[in-house]
Amino acid sequence: MLQVPIQPGHKTYRAKRSRNPGTAYRQRFQDKTRMNWLQNIIILVIGFLLSQILIAARTHLRLIGYLLGHSRTTTGGLLSATLFLSYGLSVFFSNTVVVLAMLPVVRKLMAVFKNVENRKVLAALFYCALIFGANTGGMASMTGSPLNIFAVGFAELNEVPGAEHLTFFSWLMVGVPLTSVLILAGRWILLANTPADLEPSVQPALHRTGSLLSKKPLVFFIGNMILIFALSAIQFLFTPGPLVSALNIIDLSFIVYLLIFLFFSFIFPRKAATARNALKNFIFLMLFLFALPVILVSKTLEQLEKRLHIPSRKACTILDRFLLDMINFFWKRLFGETFSSLSIYNFNSVLSINRIMLEIPWFGLLLMSFSALLLWLIISVGDNPATPDIDGWLFMIFQNFSGWLTSSANNPAFLFGIMGISTIFATEIFNNTTVLLVLSPAILNVQAAFPSEQLLLLLLVTVAASGAFMSPVATPVNALAFGGLEKLSIKTILKLGFFMNLIAALLMSAGFLLLSYFL
C-alpha cells in the first residue's frame, strides 16, 4: 500500500475502497453512468454537426480573412491566430475534426509569405501551431478528444471512486484553466523559435475576404455552446432525480435537443417549408445512410490508388456507378428527378449528408484501422488465451512498472510527476491510444492512498497521452496535420515538440497533484 505522509490540507486514508458496494449504491452508480454516457454521446454528435455547419458556411475561412484584414499581419500574429483558433475550436469539437477544418486555413495563411527561402521551417512552425492548439484544446473538455470519452467510460465501468462526478461541465472547470496556461507556453515556444527573416507579404485579396464576416453562424454556435454548458452545469450542480425510467429532466432535455438539431440540420427545408420538401430531405438522408457501406468501400479503394498507387480505380468506378444507379432508381420513381453525381449537394437542407460522408478522411480512417490491428497484435503477443485477463508482454511490462512505481513512491508529487512524464514520452514511441489502453488497467492496481487517487491518475494519463507533440504519429491530430502539410522541417518539429512535452508533463502533473488536495 502506498504510504503518503500527511500534509496540510491533504486528505489521506489507508484502506482501499471496497469493490462490493451495496445494491442501492450500485444501482445509483449504474443509473448515473448511463445518464453521463447518454449526455456525452449527444454532446459529441451535436459538436460534430456544429462544426459541419460552420464549415458549410465557410465561417472558418471568413474568420481568418477577418483577422488578416483587421490586425497587424506578422509571423507571430499569424502563428498565434492558428494556435488560438485550433485551441478554441478543439475545446468544443473533436480535435481531429478541427484539424481537418483548419488545414485549409493554415495553407491560406502560409500563402501570404512570398520569397521565403526556408519554407520547411515555416511549414514546421505552422504545423506546430496547429497541433499545439488542437491537442491542448482536446485536453480541455470531455468531447475534445476521443481518449477523454474512453477514460470516462473506463472509470464508470470499473466504478472508480469519483467517476460519477465526471461531466462535460466539471471537466471544463478543471481543463480550461490548466490548458490556458499550457497554450500560452506553446505560444512562447513558437515565438521564441521563429526566425527573424520570416516576414509575410500580405496580398490585398486576403484582406478583402475578411471584410464580410457573417455573424449568424457564430451566434448560432455560441448559443448552442451556452445551452450545452447550462444543461451540463445544472446536471452537475443539482443532479435532478429520475423522471422517466432512469432518465431525469436534463437527460430528456438533451434527447429532445438532439432530435430538434437533427431535424433542422437534415430534414427541415431551407427554402420552401413544405411537406414535400421535408419528405425529399428525409428520403435523401435515408438513401445515403443505407449507401454508407458501399461508399466506405469505394472511397477506401480510391485512397489506396491515390496514396499507395494500388490499382483500384476500375473497381471504384463500378461501385460508384452501381450506387448512383440504385439511388436514382428510387429517387426518379418518387420525385421524377435523377442525380448526376454522388457528390451533388442537397441545397434544400442545411447539411447534405452525402457531402459529409464523401469528405470524411477515409485514408486516415484506414491508417487508424491499421494502427488498431497493429495494437491488437502487440497486446496479444505473449497473451495466454487460457486466462480471462490480458497478460501479454506489453501489459505485463507496464503493470510491473506501475507496481514498482507505487511501491517506490513515498509522496504524491513523485507518483504524479513520473506518471505524467513517462506517459507523454511513451506516447511518442507507441501512440496515445495504445498507451492509454495499456496503462488504464494498471492504474486499477494502484493501492489508493486518498479517495480520488485512482481517478486523478487515470485522468492525468488520459490528458498526458494527448500531450505528445513530437512524433507525427503520436496522435491522430499529429498524423492528419503532418499529412496535410508538405515539406516540413523534422528538426524544428522535434525541437519545439520536446520543449512542449516537458512543459505539458510538468504542468499536468502539478495541476492534478494540486487538485488532489481539494478532493
Task: State the virtual CA torsion across 24, 27, 29, 35 in degrees, nearest 10.
Answer: -140
How far is it, in rounded angstroms, from Cα 413 to Cα 200?
Answer: 45
Confidence of residue 36 (pLDDT cuts 50, 70, 90): low
C-alpha to C-alpha distance for 50 and 356, rounded to whole angstroms: 12
The secondary structure of residue 209, as a DSSP letter, is T
Average pLDDT over residues 344-366: 80
DSSP conformation letters of 19-37: S---HHHHHHHHHHHHHHH
| CB 108 within 8 Å of CB 206 | yes
Per-residue model confidence (pLDDT) at position 372: 65
Return the pLDDT at 322.
93
What local confidence, expressed as pLDDT, does residue 206 receive? 45
Output the pLDDT for position 371: 66
Residue type, 381: V
Tell me the three cell numbers of residue 126: 505552422
Under 8 Å between Cβ of 316 and 298: yes
What pLDDT sits at residue 301? 85
The predicted structure's pLDDT at residue 331: 93
In the chain, % of residues over pLDDT 90: 18
Mean pLDDT of 300-316: 81
The enclosing H or E element of 243 equals: strand 242-244
Per-residue confidence at 51, pLDDT binned at 50, 70, 90? confident
pLDDT at 352 over 50: yes
243 pLDDT more than 50: yes
Q: Amino acid letter at 511?
A: G
Measured between alpha carbons, how far is 160 from 453 in angstroms, rounded to an integer? 9
Joined together, the cell numbers standing for residue 409 give 513512491
Tell whether the model's pLDDT for residue 241 goes beyond 50. Answer: yes
Q: Which residues pair with 242 in a beta bridge?
A: 248
The strand pairing partners of 244, in sequence order, are 247
Q: What is the pLDDT of residue 111?
A: 77
Q: What type of residue is 478?
A: N
CA 216, chain centre distance (Å): 25
Range name among 140-154, 164-178, 195-209 with the lowest pLDDT average: 195-209
**Confidence at 503, pLDDT banded by 50, 70, 90:** very high
Measured distance CA(515)–CA(10) in Å, rounded: 10
| C-alpha dist (Å) from residue 426 to 135, 461, 465 | 16, 11, 8
Beta carbons within 8 Å of 449's beta carbon, 6+ residues apart: 1, 2, 3, 4, 12, 13, 14, 412
Bigger pLDDT: 466 or 130?
Answer: 130
- 37 or 28, which is more confident: 37
Q: Report the range of poorest mean pLDDT among 85-94, 302-311, 359-368, 470-479.
A: 359-368
* pLDDT of 7 strictly over 60: no
Assigned C-alpha cell, 387: 486466462
Q: What is the residue whose three cell numbers read 489508493?
A: 448
- Find cell 508538405 and name the residue: 486
Q: Is the pLDDT confidence value at 360 over 80?
A: no
Average pLDDT, integer, range 67-96: 79
Q: Which of 87-101, 185-199, 354-368 has the highest mean pLDDT?
A: 185-199
> What integer pLDDT is reported at residue 68 of this predicted model?
64
Q: What local confidence, expressed as pLDDT, does residue 214 receive?
A: 62
Coil/strand/helix, residue 277: helix
- Does residue 278 carry a pLDDT above 90? yes
pLDDT at residue number 221: 79
- The pLDDT tens digits of the residues spanning 8-17 come to 344 333 333 3
More confident residue, 98 or 139: 139
pLDDT for 438 beyond 80: no
Lowest-confidence segment of 27-41, 87-101, 225-239, 418-432 by average pLDDT: 27-41
Helix or strand run (H / E) with residue 394: helix 393-408
- With a cut of 50, say whether residue 433 has pLDDT above it: yes
Distance CA(251)–CA(178), nearest Å, equals 29
Q: Is the pLDDT at 500 greater than 90, yes or no? A: yes
Higher-pLDDT residue of 101, 261: 261
The overall average pLDDT reported for the chain is 78
- Decide if pLDDT at 103 tops 50: yes
User: Rounded distance, CA 207 to CA 439, Å?
Assistant: 49
Among 54-68, 178-192, 230-244, 453-467, which stretch is predicted with the lowest mean pLDDT?
A: 54-68
The dihedral built from the CA positions of residue 13, 18, 19 and 22, taken in this order, carries a sign that is negative
Cell of 59: 465561417
Q: How far apart are CA 46 and CA 258, in angstroms?
A: 7
Report the amino acid identity of residue 255.
Answer: I
The pTM of the full predicted model, rounded to 2 decimals, is: 0.70
Measure the N-to-C terminal CA separation of the chain; round to a whole number of Å: 20
Per-residue pLDDT tens digits for 192-211? 988 877 766 654 444 444 44
Q: Residue 325's pLDDT band (boundaries 50, 70, 90)?
A: very high
